[in-house]
């Protein structure tokens, strides 16, 4: 007789007790979570699994077959390069949920952030700024969900690491007696499968694995550096007045050389734990052996370093950025 199928309540993977080296292994099938989740939760030991993005797209396609409401989550420090991407796959009603509000400076108003996204003319039902870690705007989000939901089911989708599982855990903690312990971690691909969580008789939240962004720096650094990169507290932006011929070196990871332009202001929005140094470009060779790319920054644009944060530049500038060649680096209209 076939064994009954049982899935990990932390990450959604099919549990098995036969092969230690395979996904979903647990010492006994009587357990509710897999060994990987157990180790992440109890020892902070992370085992990285690289998910294929085809699975993410298949999940979006399956969501599209429903008429259900979707929460599309975005990390404010790492806003997806293309927010219209999910519209290639789903026609559902979508609320844009901007997460990790707590790490952007308090002086920036929510309205200004929301305005920025409204100006993009995206096809979303509504936009909200939240922080489950700080329990910020979670009541407001639940009201919004109630307003727009079309059935009992509400899907939570978005890139890996944006905080989907954290949000569902928070909603459950605040509004339900049902137990819910989705695994959360600072590493990519924590959730491995769809997981339905019943908040009450009228609302079931569906957690999903996130899209892996190959251009994100988290894929190329070790765990100790990851701790430094991931801001835990409100970011204190650091402003540098630069003249052409000067450069900034950030966390010994990124070098930005100011090549052409007038006296200019560069404000770094990244983890407070990263060391930032300013030099005359000619006097230092540090990081110059890294992959380089030249960028034309327009008036009031950000230089985005995927996974690390961004640098707001005020005036027009020609710059060269040195970094690992896999990291996605681009410009956009200033967020702040």
Ligand X SMILES: Nc1nc2c(ncn2[C@@H]2O[C@H](COP(=O)(O)OP(=O)(O)OP(=O)(O)O)[C@@H](O)[C@H]2O)c(=O)[nH]1
- Looking at the Cβ atoms of 76 and 319, the one nearer to ligand X is 76
Q: Which region among 13-21, 84-92, 125-133, 214-222 touches ligand X (by CB under 6 A)? A: 125-133
Say which entry of ligand X, Mg ion, none residue 309 contacts (CB below 5 to 8 A, set by partner kind).
none
Task: Choose among 332, 47, 86: nearest CA to 211.
Answer: 86
Distance CA 5, CA 14 (A): 7
Distance CA 255, CA 108 (A): 27
| Binds ligand X (CB under 6 A): choice among 210, 251, 307, 309 | 210
| Binds ligand X (CB under 6 A): choice among 100, 218, 271, 307 | 100
Q: Among residue numbers 143 through 172, which ones bind ligand X (CB under 6 A)?
A: 160-166
Per-residue DSSP letter, 301: E
Instruction: Provide φ and ψ at 120, rounded to 5°.
Output: -80, -10
Q: Kindly state the smallest distance separating residue 186's Cβ from ligand X, in Å.
A: 4
Q: Among residue numbers 159 through 198, which ones bind Mg ion (CB under 5 A)?
A: 164-165, 190-191
What element of type H or E holds 195?
strand 195-200
Say which entry of ligand X, Mg ion, none residue 237 contacts (CB below 5 to 8 A, set by partner kind).
none
Sign of the torsion formed by the C-alpha atoms of 120, 125, 130 and 132: negative
Q: Kindly state the smallest distance separating residue 67's Cβ from ligand X, in Å.
A: 24
Q: What share of the chain is helix, strand, coil (3-state, %, to 5)?
A: 25, 30, 45
What element of type H or E holds 246?
strand 246-250
Q: Kindly state the smallest distance separating residue 11's Cβ from ligand X, in Å.
A: 7
Binding mask 176-195 for ligand X (x = CB under 6 A): --------xxx-xxxx----
Binding mask 101-120 for ligand X (x = CB under 6 A): -xx-----------------
If you search the block for the tokens 């009450």, which residue do you land on? 200
- Which chain residues interact with Mg ion by CB under 5 A? 164-165, 190-191
- Which chain residues interact with ligand X by CB under 6 A? 99-100, 102-103, 131-133, 160-166, 184-186, 188-191, 209-210
């Amino acid at each position: 007789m076939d064994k009954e199928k049982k899935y990990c309540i932390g990450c959604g993977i099919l549990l098995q007790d036969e092969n230690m080296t395979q996904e979903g292994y647990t010492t006994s099938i009587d357990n509710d979570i897999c060994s990987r989740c157990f180790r992440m939760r109890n020892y902070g030991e992370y085992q990285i699994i690289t998910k294929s993005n085809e699975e993410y797209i298949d999940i979006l396609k399956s969501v599209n077959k429903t008429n259900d409401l979707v929460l599309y989550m975005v990390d404010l420090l790492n806003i997806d390069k293309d927010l219209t991407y999910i519209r290639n796959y789903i026609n559902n009603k979508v609320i844009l949920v901007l997460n990790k509000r707590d790490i952007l400076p308090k002086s920036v108003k929510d309205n200004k952030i929301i305005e920025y996204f409204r100006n993009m003319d995206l096809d979303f039902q509504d936009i909200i700024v939240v922080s489950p870690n700080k329990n910020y705007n979670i009541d407001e989000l639940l009201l919004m969900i109630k307003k727009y939901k079309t059935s009992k089911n509400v899907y939570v989708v978005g890139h890996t690491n944006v905080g989907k599982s954290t949000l569902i855990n928070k909603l459950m903690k605040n509004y339900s007696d049902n137990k819910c312990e989705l695994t959360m971690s600072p590493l990519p691909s924590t959730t491995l499968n769809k997981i339905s969580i019943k908040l009450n008789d009228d609302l079931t939240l569906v957690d999903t694995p996130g899209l892996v962004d190959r251009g994100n720096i988290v894929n190329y650094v070790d765990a100790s550096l990851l701790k430094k990169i991931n801001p835990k507290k409100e970011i204190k932006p650091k402003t540098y007045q630069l003249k052409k011929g000067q450069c900034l070196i950030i966390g010994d990871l990124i070098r930005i050389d100011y090549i052409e332009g007038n006296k200019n202001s560069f404000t770094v929005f990244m983890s407070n734990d990263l060391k930032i140094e300013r030099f005359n470009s000619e006097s230092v060779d540090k990081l110059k052996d890294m992959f380089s790319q030249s960028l034309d920054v327009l008036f009031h644009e950000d230089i985005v370093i995927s996974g690390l944060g961004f640098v707001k530049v005020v005036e027009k500038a020609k710059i060269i950025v040195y970094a690992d060649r896999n990291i996605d680096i681009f410009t956009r209209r200033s967020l702040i």
